[in-house]
Structure 1
Amino acid sequence: MKTSLKTLVLIFVALISSAFVDPDKGYDIGDYATDFELKNIDGKKVSLKDYKDAKGFMVIFTCNSCPYAVAYEDRIIDLDKKYKALGVPVIAINPNNPDLQPEDSFEQMKQRAREKGFSFPYLLDEDQDIFPQYGATRTPHVFLLEHTAKGYQVKYIGAIDDNYQDASLVETKYVEEAVDAMLAGEKIKITTTKAIGCSIKV
């Protein structure tokens, strides 16, 4: 009886685990990301290729409704202000299905961007086919890309920093350290971290 019960438990755990396994896990460090063309809050389409002089991009999957994403909004604005002038702008993408999360509708995105004064594009992954390519699972989830002769190479994946609750208590600024190293042509010390946030609504 003990053996059969143990077997059942193992089968149950395996089934639960498999339910959360994405067969297309997205990009790894060193991979080259494909470009996209998504609608911005101004109604125009935005692609990475539009930024001819960009040295890289902070592609951040985020949204209106997630408390974690909201907590990071000011920090995302600061990242764009700091690094856009250095050739590494923020490209924010809302991956959520607005039918499941009405707060993340296109109209609500426009309103939120106005209220917060977003200085970066805020794009809608309307067909929900871009975030799986990247392997984004949370909001916010950051992918730092370097614009190279071969394409957009993935240099960092994960969280913005190590304290979503309080910016004043942050000890390690993962994204800033990664961008600084990339711009200096140095090895990025921390290339992957666990994204902390809400699951993407599909």
Structure 2
Amino acid sequence: MAVSTPICDFGWKAVDFELPGTDGRMWRLADIRGPKGTLIMFICNHCPYVQAVMGRILRDARELQELGIGVAAISSNDATTYPQDSFEEMKKEAERHGFTFPYLYDESQDVARAYGAVCTPDFFGFNADLELQYRGRLDASGRQPAGPDVRRELFEAMKQIAETGKGPQDQIPSMGCSIKWKQG
């Protein structure tokens, strides 16, 4: 079932965390934070929405990193119910796609709850002061292949944040599979 993200809560401060990465090290928000902003993405391995846009996520992340934006992806899904989202499978996914950013495992799901993440993909774009400025979609394509003229909404918003510290007022929510919460 597809779910959509809530409207951007401008100025909401990023919550610190410490999570293991597929690269074998522990990561905190301060390690990821970029001089011009930070993008935290909640994704997972199995979600068809994420898989459909993976190439564009990788392209945009790489280009945003070149602009001084720190980038990380977090998977918070229950790996007991969805074994393809296990930490071992995350390592394979990061290697297969050549992630240029840390891919972090939120096994307790505490970070997803702290951020209010609801779906995969769910994008949180912060300015240099770690104030939320973007909570929208990657682009208009959803699960479809992107046409040559599709607007790169996430990239454009994060570029604006890097340049001005402020995100666009008009944002269209991201849509994807719900976070797979643990039972109980």
Report the TM-score when normalising by structure 2.
0.87
Equivalent residues of 1:147, 1:153 under 8 A apart:
yes
Q: 1:84 to 1:133 in 2, by over 3 A?
A: same
Distance 1:200 1:79 in 2: 23
Q: Deviations over 1:113-149 (max 9, x none)?
A: 111111110001111011111111110010001122x
Match of 2:175 in 1: 196
Out of 99, 105, 119, the residue aligned to residue 138 of structure 1 is 119
Indicate the SS of the match to 1:83.
helix
Aligned pair 1:87/2:65, yes or no?
no
- Give the Å deviation of 1:193: 2.3
CA RMSD of aligned residues (A): 2.1
Match of 1:8 in 2: none
Match of 1:182 in 2: 161
Match of 1:74 in 2: 55
Equivalent residues of 1:27, 1:134 under 8 A apart:
no
Of all paired residues, the percent bearing the same amino acid is 37
Aligned pair 1:114/2:95, yes or no?
yes
Equivalent residues of 1:159, 1:195 under 8 A apart:
yes
Equivalent residues of 1:29, 1:157 under 8 A apart:
no
Distance 1:137 1:177 in 2: 23
Amino acid across the alignment from 1:73: M
Equivalent residues of 1:142, 1:158 under 8 A apart:
yes
Equivalent residues of 2:18, 2:26 under 8 A apart:
yes
Match of 1:166 in 2: 145
Distance 1:40 1:52 in 2: 15
Structure 2: state its 5+ residue gaps: none
Match of 1:153 in 2: 131
Structure 1: state its 5+ residue gaps: 1-19
- Give the Å deviation of 1:186: 6.7
**Which structure carries more helix by proportion?**
1
Q: 1:74 to 1:55 in 2, by over 3 A?
A: same
Aligned pair 1:58/2:36, yes or no?
no
Amino acid across the alignment from 1:161: D
Distance 1:137 1:158 in 2: 12
Distance 1:169 1:118 in 2: 24
Q: 1:78 to 1:155 in 2, by over 3 A?
A: same
Report the TM-score when normalising by structure 1.
0.80
Equivalent residues of 1:91, 1:121 under 8 A apart:
yes
Runs of 4+ aligned residues of structure 1 deviating over 3 Å after TM superposition are none
Bigger RCO (CA 8 Å, 6+ sep): 2
